Amino acid sequence: MLANMSTDYYERIEQGRGPQPSPAMLGAIARALRLTLPERDHVYVLAGHPAPESNVSLGYADPGLMTVLDALATSVPALIADDLQNVVGQNPLNVALLGQLVGQPGFTSNFLWHWFRNPDYAVLYGPNDREQLGRNYAAELRGAAARRPDDPAVGALVDELRTNSADFARMWDLNEVATVTKTRKFLQHPLVGLLDCECDVVISPPSQQRLVLFRGTPGTGTGERLAMLQVLGTQQLEPDHAYQHGESLE
């Protein structure tokens, strides 16, 4: 089901009596099995295809980062995103904080799309210095684009944001490059009020995915409000969708 193929077809692949799987099908299998990058590349080689470029997104959460996300299930809002800011993992508290991002269609699973295009995020992040944060995001995306010059996903995202966001187009044209590892953000949450969060970013070198932690700034009362959000916000989530690991179908 995760690889979007029939049981019969998968059995024939396992038994070596089916047609040679296409690269797209191999990618779907690798995502369903959550293979590491070396494991994924080995599968491609075994099937007679060249391994994907090292900078192409996994399409699912990095297994190492996912282990940390599992451990933070109820204590700290956290998400996992790739280097294009496609969100591939969220714990329940992060869903209560930012809304459901994992598994959403098209660009609506991308944090940058929401930052520059979603009016609800403009309200949620209203108290921030949106100019500086926006420039940081554009600069980080430019760095990712340089690492993946032939990836159509990069061009599609940049074109979408440049066409539909004047702020992004202006910031992109500054030609800045940056890597964001720590920020301080204010979120005006509709259920619990103002949250003052220190956001730490942990990057996995093999996958270039990042784990983003939203910690309450000490002395601001944010920790207590996040505890309240854990009770109020997660109660509103459907049990089957409250915890998202970001499997991607192809």
46-65 tens-digit pLDDT: 888 887 666 566 667 777 78
DSSP string, the chain: -TT---HHHHHHHHTT-SPPPPHHHHHHHHHHHT--HHHHHHHHHHTTSPPPPTTS--SS--HHHHHHHHHTTTTS-EEEE-TT-BEEEE-HHHHHHH---TT-SGGGGBHHHHHHH-HHHHHHTTTS-HHHHHHHHHHHHHHHHHH-TT-HHHHHHHHHHHHH-HHHHHHHTT-------EEEEEEEETTTEEEEEEEEEEE-TTT--EEEEEEEPTTTTHHHHHHHHHHHHHHTS-GGGSSB------
Q: Which of 6-10, 69-73, 183-187, 201-205 has the highest mean pLDDT?
A: 183-187
pTM comes to 0.75
Alpha-carbon Rg for the chain, nearest whole angstrom, is 19
**Position with higher pLDDT, 244 vs 201:** 201
CA distance 151 to 136: 22
Query: Residue 192 region, left (φ>0) first, then alpha (ψ -120 to 50), else beta?
Result: alpha
Instruction: Give the pLDDT band (50/70/90) at residue 238.
Output: very low
> What is the pLDDT, as a whole number, of residue 135?
95
What is the chain's mean pLDDT, rounded?
85
> What is the pLDDT, as a whole number, of residue 247?
41
> What is the pLDDT, as a whole number, of residue 236?
55
Mean pLDDT, to the nearest integer, of 159-184? Answer: 94
Give ranges for CATH 3.30.450.180 in the chain.
Answer: 63-241
CA distance 10 to 4: 10
CB 2 within 8 A of CB 10: no
pLDDT above 70 covers a percentage of the chain that reads 89
Query: Where does 63-241 sit in CATH, by number?
Result: 3.30.450.180
Q: Residues 112-129, buried b or exposed e (16+ Cβ, 10 A)? A: bbbbbbeeebeebbeebe
> What is the pLDDT, as a whole number, of residue 97?
93
**Position with higher pLDDT, 180 vs 184:** 184
